[in-house]
Amino acid sequence: MNDMEGTGMIIYEGQATLTYPGQHGDLLGIFQRRTRIILEQTEPGFYDITCGADLSSASDLIVTVPTGQSYEGRVVIRAGNKATIATKSRIWFQRIQGVRHG
């Protein structure tokens, strides 16, 4: 994974809908926000997102672009309006890599 310096391949840039559990002030819940984003794939299964939303309390994130394609994953790094997610398929892959068959 990179350290969020924008070294990946840009997958999408434009308006998108973000859905994530988090906290805003005294409100705790699932939030949905339409905002401009830059979505970069840093390596297979990992994506950096830069956007107009505060993602500092997000634990999971779904990014839906206007074509209907979604990128869903666990937030592994967060810093204000930037986050890195590991997609569910990547998390599953890492889990089975640790299993030894004997």
Task: Map tokens 């906290």 to a residue.
Answer: 23
**Backbone φ and ψ of 91, nearest 5°:** -65, -45
Residue 98 has pLDDT above 60, yes or no: no
Record the pTM.
Answer: 0.76
pLDDT score for 25: 79
Report the distance separating Cα 99 and Cα 23, nearest Å.
35
**Residue 51: count of CB within 10 angstroms of its CB:** 20
CATH topology for 9-97? Thrombin, subunit H (2.40.10)
pLDDT score for 6: 55
Closest alpha carbon to 84 in 13, 15, 3:
3
Residue 5 has pLDDT above 60, yes or no: no
Is residue 64 a contact partner of residue 72, using CB atoms and an 8 Å limit? no
Domain boundaries, the chain: 9-97
